[in-house]
C-alpha cells in the first residue's frame, strides 16, 4: 500500500475521480473544498511526513472533495429536510435547489396549475388530462409526470388561471 493509499484509504482510480469532480466545480465550491482541505490539514498535521508534504496536501484535497461529494449525495436524497440540517448545510441545500432547473413541461404545468386543478376536480383521469394538454395546448406530457408535478403543486399555492385557461 502506498503513502497516498494509506492517507486517503482510497485507490488511485477513486482519487482521480475526486480530482475530476473538484475540477468540475464552480469557483465558490472549489473554495469551499479548499477550506475543508485546510481544516483536514490542521486535524491531521501529526500524520504529515515532511519529506512527502506535497502528497499530504494532495491527499487532504482529495479527502475534502470526497466530503463535499458525499454531502451533495446526502442532500440530493429526498430524506434530508431543512430541520435535519445545520445552518451551513441549509445554505448548501438552498444552493443546490437554486441550481436545479425544471423542465419546460414543469414550467408549463406550474403556469396552468389552476387549469389542472379544475380538470382534476371535474373527474378527469391523469391520462385524459395528458390527452387534453396534448390536444388543446400542444404539450406532450406523460400522465405519470403530470401526476407527479400535480402532487408537488398541491403543496404550493396555486396561481390564478390565465384568461386562455378559463376558456376550456
pLDDT digits (tens, 9 = 90+) for 52-109: 888 888 888 888 888 888 887 776 665 545 555 565 666 666 666 665 566 778 888 8
Name the residue range of residue 146's domain: 104-166
3 state SS of 84: helix
Direct distance between the N- and C-terminal alpha carbons of the chain, in angstroms, rounded to an integer: 70
Say whether both 125 and 159 belong to one domain: yes
Q: How far is CA 146 from the centre of its chain?
A: 21
Question: What one-character-per-residue DSSP string does 116-151 give?
Answer: HHHHHHTT--HHHHHHHHHHHH-----HHHHHHHHH
DSSP string, 31-57: HHHHHHHHHHHHHTGGG--GGGHHHHH
Residue 87 lies in a domain: no
Any idea which residue has 437554486 for its cell?
A: 98
**Same domain, yes or no: 11 and 72:** yes
φ/ψ of 69, rounded to 5, equals: -65, -40
Query: What pLDDT is stored for residue 83 in this prediction?
Result: 55
pLDDT digits 0-9 by tens, 4-31: 677 777 788 888 888 888 888 888 888 8
Total domains in the chain come to: 2
Residue 37 lies in a domain: yes
Residues 6+ apart with CB under 8 A from 147: 126
Amino acid at each position: 500500500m502506498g503513502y497516498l493509499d494509506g492517507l486517503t484509504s482510497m485507490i488511485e482510480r477513486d482519487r482521480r475521480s475526486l480530482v475530476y469532480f473538484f475540477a468540475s466545480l464552480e469557483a465558490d465550491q472549489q473554495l469551499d473544498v479548499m477550506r475543508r482541505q485546510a481544516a483536514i490539514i490542521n486535524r491531521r498535521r501529526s500524520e504529515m511526513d515532511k519529506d512527502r508534504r506535497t502528497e499530504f496536501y494532495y491527499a487532504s484535497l482529495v479527502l475534502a472533495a470526497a466530503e463535499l461529494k458525499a454531502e451533495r449525495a446526502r442532500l440530493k436524497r429526498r430524506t434530508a429536510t431543512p430541520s435535519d440540517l445545520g445552518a451551513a448545510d441549509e445554505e448548501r441545500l438552498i444552493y443546490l435547489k437554486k441550481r436545479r432547473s425544471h423542465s419546460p413541461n414543469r414550467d408549463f404545468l406550474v403556469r396552468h396549475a389552476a387549469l389542472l386543478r379544475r380538470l382534476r376536480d371535474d373527474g378527469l383521469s391523469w391520462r385524459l388530462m395528458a390527452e387534453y394538454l396534448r390536444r388543446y395546448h400542444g404539450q406532450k406530457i406523460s400522465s405519470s409526470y403530470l401526476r407527479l408535478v400535480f402532487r408537488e403543486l398541491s403543496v404550493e399555492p396555486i396561481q390564478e388561471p390565465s384568461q386562455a385557461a378559463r376558456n376550456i
